[in-house]
Amino acid sequence: MKPAVRIAITGAAGNIGYAAAFRISAGGMLGTDQPIILQLVEIEPALQALKGVEMELLDCAFPLLENVITTSDIETGFKDTDYALLVGSKPRTKGMERSDLLGDNGKIFGPQGRAINNHASRNVKVLVIGNPANTNALIAMNNAPDLSPSQFSSMMRLDHNRALNQLSLKTGSKIADITRLTVWGNHSLTQYPDISHCRIDGQDATSVVDISWYKETFIPNVQNRGAEIISARGASSAASAASAAIDHMRNWIFGTPEDDWTSMGIPSAGDYGITEGLMYSFPVRCKNGSYEVVHDLHMDDFSTEKTKITEKELLEERDAVKALL
Ligand code: NAD
Ligand code: LMR
């Protein structure tokens, strides 16, 4: 058996944390040959509930789960961790935008970034899920000067998966046959789900669907899916978010399939004219634990305009949290 790796999950007594912890412990993220130690972090008032999560995890008798650590101390929570899923934060409720959470949630990610900087494995991979995810990830990354910015990412995979689902439903094609889809920018209403390079069973997606459906139905549907879920469930997406987090980490660690890519919020290196340093979602290919932006995609005027709109929103969010960077 391989030596165990450490996975920290913040907000582990919450809805996403609860959904993620069991799938990860069953081998869903790192495979069924990789033992793990879970380091579950919560705020003090939720420690009792977290104890219950720990008891249930142990009652599953997962062969891969070597230990569960529960704590409200972030230095203990991130100690030597190889992977960190930063979920813990408030979700929005009906009528709110995700950026309305910045005031309450933004301040969580500076101290967590510093604790990761000082205590995590030097190779840690960090995924920020708590909203507004891109800007929270920017805050965490800026508070971890001893780590590479490329170790920090924000979750766009739920949007990517939602876009795959919408396209599959419309065209009657299998999810597995849809490749090269991208969701650009921010995990917000301004995100740009882009099918202009996408293929469905080898064919250009834009030749399979009507362009007015793409612009007037598909894009707004994907952009609004989070709010639609809140309206239906009375709570924000949880199992699909946990599943997307696992997909994100799996691709980052083990690679994206040949001839395909995924969407990840990553620090911009200026590709496609996007302001350097912004935590922005790009099409990326992953291999051997690293990612690379997919270069040289042709961007028509529509795409360029859309990528700029979502960049502008991220610049405004960055300005709003200047004091935390
Ligand atoms: P939840 O309220 O069910 O759980 C959040 C948990 O975080 C709670 O148990 C709470 O005690 C804990 N928490 C709060 N502050 C914390 C802190 N400083 N340290 C550790 N834990 C803390 O919420 P949820 O449904 O699990 O959602 C969590 C976050 O994920 C929300 O911000 C939500 O908007 C976001 N989200 C993001 C995506 C995405 O695609 N990026 C998708 C779904 C939800
Ligand atoms: C989502 O997209 O489901 C999450 O970001 C939760 C939300 O607030 O919409």
- Mean per-residue pLDDT, 259-272: 98
Residue whose pair of structure tokens reads 């960055």 in the numeric block? 318
Ligand 2 pocket residue status of 98, Cβ below 6 Å: yes
pLDDT of residue 133: 98
Question: Quick check: 279 pLDDT over 90?
Answer: yes
Beta strands in the chain (DSSP E): 5-10, 36-41, 65-71, 83-86, 125-128, 152-154, 178-179, 182-184, 192-194, 199-200, 203-204, 262-267, 279-287, 290-293
Nearest ligand 2 atom to alpha carbon 236: 6
What share of the chain in percent tops pLDDT 70? Answer: 100
Q: Which of 16, 40, 48, 156 to mutate to test the pocket of ligand 1 (most atoms within 8 A of CB)?
A: 16
Amino acid at 84: A
Question: Quick check: 185 pLDDT over 90?
Answer: yes
Look at residues 22, 19, 105, 111 and name the one whose alpha carbon lies nearest to residue 73: 111
**Cβ < 6 A, ligand 1 pocket:** 10-11, 13-17, 41-43, 46, 87-92, 105, 108, 129-131, 133, 155, 158, 187, 236-238, 241
Look at residues 313, 244, 320, 289 and name the one whose alpha carbon lies nearest to residue 5: 289
248 an active-site residue? Answer: no
Residue whose pair of structure tokens reads 């008032």 in the numeric block? 45
pLDDT category at 214 given cuts 50, 70, 90 is very high
pLDDT of residue 142: 98
* SS3 at position 5: strand
pLDDT category at 1 given cuts 50, 70, 90 is confident
Q: Where in the chain is the domain with CATH 3.40.50.720?
A: 5-154
Residue whose pair of structure tokens reads 């979920």 in the numeric block? 87
Amino acid at 272: Y
DSSP calls for 227-272: HHHHHHHSS---HHHHHHHHHHHHHHHH-PPTT--EEEEEE--SGG
| DSSP assignment letter at 45 | G
pLDDT category at 193 given cuts 50, 70, 90 is very high
Question: Quick check: 165 pLDDT over 90?
Answer: yes
- Mean per-residue pLDDT, 20-39: 98
Task: Tell me the CATH architecture of domain 5-154.
Answer: 3-Layer(aba) Sandwich (3.40)
Rounded Cα gap, residues 187 and 223, in angstroms: 8
Q: How far is the CA of 295 from the centre of ligand 2 (A)?
A: 29
- Mean per-residue pLDDT, 177-197: 98
Look at residues 137, 175, 172 and name the one whose alpha carbon lies nearest to residue 257: 175
Q: Which of 96, 98, 136, 248 to mutate to test the pocket of ligand 2 (most atoms within 8 A of CB)?
A: 98
Four-CA torsion 265, 271, 275, 278, nearest 10 degrees: 20
Rounded Cα gap, residues 124 and 112, in angstroms: 13
Nearest ligand 2 atom to alpha carbon 229: 3
pLDDT of residue 38: 98
Question: Quick check: 66 pLDDT over 90?
Answer: yes
Q: Which comes out higher in pLDDT, residue 143 or 103?
A: 143
Average pLDDT, the chain: 97
Check: CATH 3.40.50.450 for 157-322? no
What share of the chain in percent tops pLDDT 90? Answer: 97
Q: How far is the CA of 313 from the centre of ligand 2 (A)?
A: 17
pLDDT of residue 50: 98
Question: Of these residues, 119, 160, 187, 295, which one is catalytic?
Answer: 187
| DSSP assignment letter at 259 | T
Q: How far is the CA of 261 from the centre of ligand 2 (A)?
A: 23
- Over the stretch 93-138, which tens digit does the pLDDT of each residue have? 888 999 999 999 989 999 999 999 999 999 999 999 999 999 999 9
Q: Where in the chain is the domain with CATH 3.90.110.10?
A: 157-322
